[in-house]
A and B are shown apart, each in its own frame.
Chain A
Amino acid sequence: MNSPILLTKLNIPQIRRNLIDRSRLINQIERCMDVPLTLISAPAGFGKTTLINQWLNNDHHGHGGNFQVGWLSLDDEDDDPNRFWEYFLAAMERNLDEKSCFETAHSLLQGLLEPPIQNLLVQVINTITSRPVHFTLIIDDFQLIHHSSILDGITYLVEHMPENLHLVLLTRADPPLPFGRWRIQGKLNEIRTTDLRFTIDEASKYLQEVQTLNLDSAEIQALEERTEGWIAGLQMAGLSLRDLSPIQADKFISEFSGQNHLILDYLTDEVLIRLSDDLQAFLLKTSILSQFCPSLCAFVCSSESDQTVASGKYSQLLEELDHSNLFVIPLDNQRVWYRYHHLFAELLRVRLNEKYPEWIPLLHRKAAHWYEENGFPFEAMHHAISAQDINLATDVIERTVRKPATWSTGNIARMLEIVNTLPKEVIANRPWLRIYLSGILYVGGQPCLADEMLEDVEKSLVDVNFPSSSVMDELFLYTSTFRGFYAATLGYSVKAVHLAKKVLALLHEDDKRVYGHALATLGQAEFSTGDVTAAARYYSKAVENQKRNNAHFTAVTWTGNLADVLITQGRLHAAVEICNPIIRSTDKDGNPESAVGYLQTFHAAILYEWDQLDEAEEMIFSGLRKMQNFGISPNFGRSHAMLAMVQQAQGKVVDANNSMEIAVQIAQRSGSVRYIDRIAAYQARLWLLQGEVTKAIHWAEGWMELRQELSSSNQLPEYLVENEQISAAWILFAGNRLSDALMIIEPIIASATQYGRLSSLVEGMAVKALILAEQKGNEIAAQQSMLQAVQLSRPEGYIRTYLNLGRSCFDLLKSLTVKDNKIKIYRDLILDHFQSHHKVKPTLYESHQHGDYEKLSSREIEVLNLMASGMTNEQIAQKLYLTNNTIRAHSTHIFDKLGVHNRTEAVTKARALGILR
């Protein structure tokens, strides 16, 4: 959303001078401050936007400085839930002091097919409620919205609207919303066509004062009657009457009144006749543009010879049009971008189509070129398609995806959307386009589709006899490189290494094309199979290579991957050291935001390990935001899984579940078994932390069975599944399946020791210690194992790993006899962390071990928390958007599970058990 064009969507359109007094309507609009929804519904040209503008410019809001407004002008493309709610949030945020107040809401919108809108709206409602403001959100052109999920969201919002939030919809047609119900409930303030028509008084004032025409009352009445108070009609009539002598004016009015043609058609012709030929041509030519600035006008309107001088001329021309009320609307304060009034543009296009149909494709082609030159690929494609020039559109896309800038600042997800609308045959003949598109699919979270696309390209290269074999070699070089890289991420290490080595053998080290990619492929393959030392070496070389070649996007993303390797190696500080300078870098350092956002997740993982939860959450949010501008955040399920873990640690159970659900969806959409398994392990850990032991164990058992099957049929994957294994061991331990847990953890410790994967080693040793501690006669071995974990993890300051292991870990750590003072200080630090905020929520599964009550669900814990804060059932119901009955049912379950009879007992017992702080 950084493009200046898109930002104009959130600008309040600039008001025209010389407006007539419409206090009767202003007073009616003012009622919007008393009701949730105001509907201003009338066809085009009835002055809806102008009127709301007039109201905004009035000072008599009576709400002091607390009156705030958000504006959103919709376009055809916005009838899409994700896009709509993104803009919705952006419009709300624009005028609230903090930028980040809707981060959680944003994180719910990461390109999901069905974003959880209700949750998002609850966040918005809570944020607004807590602020001392009166916030009015105005949405223009709401008739463009038909998607039921958006309409459902608006309905929900209106029905749960806090008193200090108001919605104003400007629309040409009533949207399908339950207005009948809202009217009866007094929730609706309505201004309709009849209200908006100019009365004879207003028409008279308008023509005399604003248009400064000298007309008698009979003439005014004739105009008002013929236009029926339609403002656009009166405005056109006014323009036609300008500079006419009284006799001519008289003649015009009588002809006009007797006219039976479409008023606007007639009037437009009248207005155009009075303009110079140049100006007429200008209006007709620019009518194909949905917005325009002087330089674009110059390019589209001028012949090639005079373009250099033209821009200044057009800047002046646009201002003149603005001044003479010729239906242009400035879109920004600097008066650079304008658009025509929609109706006027339509009327002009009819004339263009009638008079100069042969110009139309040419004009669109010119517009496409200007937009492409100036870095607006989407607008360029739109015009290329309007010119019915599919080849041009495809050229634009191909050139765009091959530009490095696209990978730094472009919205590649949208690019993909547009590509999908192009005919398959056109794409099929463009191997280069397809190679780059596969890259987009890959970073967009679809590695399997990306690989299929390249497989197709390779097949077509063999089928079709390509003229030059050097072009062919070049294409194969790229497909092999990328297919190798995808194979590495998908876990097919053997294939990855094979392809990467083949590529490396063909190239010299100074090669600027794909040498670095092949190195990264080897890095990823080694990482997959667990050789982190080799992985770090290859990735470092790959990053170096990309830096040398100024390939910023890959340099930064692979630094992120390198950080991931370092974290596994237990080199947390080293990982922070390579991330920090990039995160702190500025635009001019050339590090693409999108890639920086990706890298931030790894940094957040370290902050989480150090138990700096708020910082970790902030880091992920800002990273997701950066990726989202690029359109690739959906790819990265791990960001959301990490976010879920952080939120769980912060005690935000509902948020944690939302985030995990998103991570799961993203993984499933990727179609990669490896992605899905990885996220499932995170989900299982989260369940365990929430006390859902049964679910967690169910996962662990299923996972082990599958491993068993794969192993007996010799189909175990080529990649390491350490995280899954540790998760399973930990969960089985929590379920008291000690020998099963031990059987999994021993080999992990051995392999992690051999290859130097310290993070896994520390966690493995700690889990093993806990298992041993539960076994009779192994107390000393348990102590030794825990002590070893502590010694290993001290230099890098691991904390979260221990905290997640819960009460039994706390007990074991506490009972350790530590001689070395440094180790003792570190051990005490971990214990402090346990005691400060985490004693609060010692994870619940241990109470299961102690077995004296049934686990509470996350919702029940939430209800219990609110009970503890002294809320009534009704208040809790309101807060959680549930019914009173549901809350009562939850309470009954809570009492049953805790074996108590009332709220006070429940809260006391929950505190004693450590469920509540």
Chain B
Amino acid sequence: MNDRAKYEIVVMGTLGDRWADWFPGMMIDHEEQGGNYVTRITGIVQDQSNLIGILQTLINLGLPLLLVKKQD
């Protein structure tokens, strides 16, 4: 299995662009979903540890996870 893969992560709340350096190579977009603001982070992760690190950072910042999805 190739470890590199494209992932989509959606969290509740708005994560400012200043955090971009904490998620190198990922795109950060904001949108409204049913009255709530959410942040969508998409991009290539190197492997599962990389993914876990990203999720951990988001959780540490207090942003509840709404979705984690591997894209084909």
Chain A positions near chain B (C-beta within 8 angstroms): 43-45, 143, 172-173, 230, 232-233, 260-265, 342-343, 346, 350-351, 353-354
Contact = CB atoms under 8 A, between A and B. Distances in A.
Contacts of A43: 59-60, 62
29 contacts: A43-B59, A43-B62, A44-B60, A44-B62, A45-B62, A143-B56, A172-B56, A172-B59, A172-B60, A232-B62, A260-B13, A260-B14, A260-B37, A261-B16, A262-B14, A262-B15, A262-B61, A262-B63, A263-B13, A264-B62, A265-B16, A342-B60, A346-B60, A350-B21, A350-B22, A351-B18, A353-B18, A353-B21, A354-B18
B19 to A, nearest CB: 6
A792 B16 CA distance: 85
The 10 closest A-B pairs by CB, nearest first: A260-B37, A354-B18, A261-B14, A260-B14, A44-B60, A43-B59, A265-B16, A350-B18, A262-B15, A353-B21
A44 B58 CA distance: 11
A477 B61 CA distance: 57
B3 to A, nearest CB: 17
Interface residues of B, number: 15
B36 to A, nearest CB: 8
Residue in B14, B15, B56 whose Cβ sees the most chain A Cβ within 10 Å: B14
A614 B36 CA distance: 71
Contacts of A232: 62
Interface of B: 13-16, 18-19, 21-22, 37, 56, 59-63
B43 to A, nearest CB: 19
A44 B57 CA distance: 10
Nearest to A343: B60
Nearest to A261: B14
B24 to A, nearest CB: 12
Contacts of A261: 13-14, 16
A143 B52 CA distance: 12
Contacts of B19: 262, 350
B27 to A, nearest CB: 17
B62 A233 contact: yes
B13 A262 contact: yes
Contacts, number: 49
Contacts of B15: 262, 265
Contacts of B37: 260
Contacts of B59: 43, 172-173
A261 B22 CA distance: 17
A578 to B, nearest CB: 53
A264 B63 CA distance: 10
Contacts of A354: 18
A143 B53 CA distance: 12
A230 B13 CA distance: 15
A232 B62 CA distance: 10
Contacts of B16: 261-262, 265
A476 B54 CA distance: 51
B18 A230 contact: no
A261 B37 CA distance: 9
A265 B60 contact: no
Contacts of B21: 350, 353
Contacts of B63: 262
A260 B15 CA distance: 9
Contacts of B13: 260-263
Contacts of A342: 60
B29 to A, nearest CB: 14
A801 to B, nearest CB: 56
A232 B60 CA distance: 11
Nearest to B16: A265
A232 B59 CA distance: 14
A354 B14 CA distance: 17
Contacts of B22: 350
Nearest to B55: A173
Contacts of A45: 62
Nearest to B59: A43
A591 to B, nearest CB: 45
A172 B55 CA distance: 12
Contacts of A230: 62
A351 B18 CA distance: 8
Contacts of A233: 62
A232 B56 CA distance: 17
A263 B22 CA distance: 17
A172 B59 CA distance: 9
A256 to B, nearest CB: 14
A339 B63 CA distance: 24
A346 B18 CA distance: 12
A264 B19 CA distance: 12
A143 B46 CA distance: 21
Given A263-B62, A343-B60, 7 more contacts: A44-B62, A232-B62, A260-B13, A262-B13, A262-B16, A263-B13, A351-B18
A329 to B, nearest CB: 17
A354 B22 CA distance: 12
Contacts of B14: 260-262
Contacts of A172: 56, 59-60
Contacts of B62: 43-45, 230, 232-233, 262-264
A45 B59 CA distance: 11
A265 B56 contact: no
Nearest to A266: B16
Contacts of B18: 265, 350-351, 353-354
A173 B61 contact: no
A403 B60 CA distance: 42
A146 to B, nearest CB: 9
A485 B27 CA distance: 59
A264 B61 CA distance: 8
A288 B41 CA distance: 26
A343 B63 CA distance: 13
B42 to A, nearest CB: 18
B33 to A, nearest CB: 12
A45 B62 CA distance: 9
Nearest to B21: A353
A662 to B, nearest CB: 32
A172 B62 CA distance: 11
B2 to A, nearest CB: 22
A715 B21 CA distance: 63
Nearest to B32: A260
Contacts of A343: 60-61
A732 to B, nearest CB: 56
A346 B22 CA distance: 10
A67 B19 CA distance: 45
A660 to B, nearest CB: 38
A342 B63 CA distance: 16
A173 B22 CA distance: 19
A631 B31 CA distance: 54
Nearest to A172: B60
Nearest to A143: B56
A260 B56 CA distance: 21
Residue in A262, A264, A265, A343 whose Cβ sees the most chain B Cβ within 10 Å: A262
Nearest to A263: B62
A265 B14 CA distance: 10
A903 to B, nearest CB: 54
Nearest to A228: B62
B67 to A, nearest CB: 18
Contacts of B60: 43-44, 172, 342-343, 346
Nearest to B15: A262
A143 B56 CA distance: 10
A731 B16 CA distance: 76
B13 to A, nearest CB: 6
Nearest to B36: A260
A261 B14 CA distance: 5
B57 to A, nearest CB: 9
A233 B18 CA distance: 19
A342 B56 CA distance: 13
A519 B21 CA distance: 58
A43 B57 CA distance: 10
Nearest to A46: B62
Contacts of A263: 13, 62
